[in-house]
Amino acid sequence: MPQFCKPRVVFSRCLGFDHCRYNGDIINDNFILRLKDHCHALTPCPEVEIGLGIPREPIRIIEDDNKNSYLMQPATGRDHSLEMLKYSNRYLSNLGEVDGFILKAKSPSCGRGTVKAYHAVNDKIPLSTKTDGFFARAVKDNYPLTPFEDEGRLNNYVLRERFLTQIFTLASFRKVAEKESFNELQLFHASNKELLRFYNQQIKIKMGKLIGDFTGGSPDIILDQYGQLLKEAMASHPRPAALANFFEHALGFFKNDLSSMDKQLFLDNVSNWKEGKLPVSAMLTMIRSWALHFEKNWLLEQTILQPYPSELNDIHDSGKGRDL
């Protein structure tokens, strides 16, 4: 079984860690309940950290005609914008390297593009567009290439599989970078070739050239450059056409091992995957089982076959957000 490095993930504290929502509730999310055992979890609650109590009067985002945003508490009339901005920048500047963020959807502090904003003239009437929470904006500014989702979007299995692949790949590279070994970097790149091809072929080529041009000495600079390219690659939208090519390429490894019926079943499943009827994990599991049975070592070394712990596989799907 593959050994996975634990990603460092920032969670909103109310997502299964503490009763700290404005009304004292906790959000028990099944996926996060399973994921947190595989992570080093960091759990801020920005609203509590700026001194708002539990329970507390709700806060909301107010926008004026010039698109200026304020974090207001209507019941008290207090403006918490500056406190939240200071806290967010202080927390994130001291956070260090992390592999992902999962924050609370619709929260005026943590929401990612899902937060209602209200007009300054009448703070009871929401605007037609949604926005980011104050802490979420700071996350985007300080960690623009780091995977960032909310618990609502992760109910979609396509987004969930992508997020898991991103955070475990980045965690694996952090382990390589800590060793400061060029040989370890070569092994990492070799085992992630198909995964990187799926995410961004052009950046993958740059990464390969970076390794090929290395002439010796301290690997610090090349590790920094490679790490930046890796983040850019993993922040790309994966290309379904590249994954379909990998499926066809992988099938070629078994051309002398499988029956015609097995091959046709696989091709039928590829069609089902293209139509959204099968998760990609089902296809990868099929290839991996054949690779194990027929001892196809090159395939077994490719992280694309199992980019994150199998315990986190889940076909549950909200049906929302597939194109996001």
What is the side-by-side strand order in the sheet with 69-73? Answer: 78-79, 69-73, 60-63, 115-119, 126-131
Pull the structure tokens for residue 38. Answer: 């595989």
255: left (phi over 0), alpha (psi -120 to 50) or beta: alpha
- Which pLDDT band, with edges at 50, 70 and 90, does 178 fall under? very high
Pull the structure tokens for residue 191. Answer: 């085992």
* Rounded percentage of the chain residues whose pLDDT exceeds 90: 80
Give the integer Cα–Cα distance in Å for 227 and 230. Answer: 5
Q: Quick one: which of 157, 221, 156, 159 has its CA closest to 185?
A: 221
Give the integer Cα–Cα distance in Å for 137 and 231. Answer: 19
- Which pLDDT band, with edges at 50, 70 and 90, does 315 fall under? low
- Which pLDDT band, with edges at 50, 70 and 90, does 239 fall under? confident
Angle formed by the axes of helices 182-191 and 201-212, nearest 10°: 150
* DSSP type of residue 114: -
Pull the structure tokens for residue 6. Answer: 């634990």
- Per-residue pLDDT for 317 more than 90? no
Give the integer Cα–Cα distance in Å for 306 and 161. Answer: 11
- Per-residue pLDDT for 322 more than 50? no
Q: Cα(first)–Cα(last) distance of the chain, in Å?
A: 32
User: What is the reported pLDDT for 282?
Assistant: 85
8: left (phi over 0), alpha (psi -120 to 50) or beta: beta
Contacts for 30-34 with beta carbons within 8 Å, 24 or more apart?
A: 30/316, 31/151, 31/154, 31/155, 31/160, 31/312, 31/314, 31/316, 32/102, 32/151, 32/154, 34/311, 34/312, 34/314
- At 116-174, the pLDDT tens digits run 999 887 778 888 889 999 999 999 999 999 999 999 999 998 899 999 999 999 999 99
Q: Label the pairing between strands 69-73 and 78-79.
A: antiparallel
What is the SS3 assignment for 230?
A: helix
- At 12-46, the pLDDT tens digits run 999 999 999 999 999 999 999 999 999 999 999 99
- Per-residue pLDDT for 323 more than 50? no
Strand partners, 200: none
* Cβ–Cβ under 8 Å, residues 49 and 16: no
User: What is the reported pLDDT for 121?
Assistant: 77
Strand partners, 117: 61
Average per-residue pLDDT for the chain: 93
> In the chain, what are the helix, strand and coil shares in percent, each to the nearest 5?
50, 10, 40
Angle CA 138–144–147, to nearest 5: 100
- Which pLDDT band, with edges at 50, 70 and 90, does 324 fall under? very low
* Cβ–Cβ under 8 Å, residues 46 and 84: yes
- At 60-92, the pLDDT tens digits run 999 988 889 999 999 999 999 999 999 999 999
- At 189-220, the pLDDT tens digits run 999 999 999 999 999 999 999 999 998 888 99
User: What is the reported pLDDT for 128?
Assistant: 85
- Per-residue pLDDT for 176 more than 90? yes
User: What is the reported pLDDT for 320?
Assistant: 53
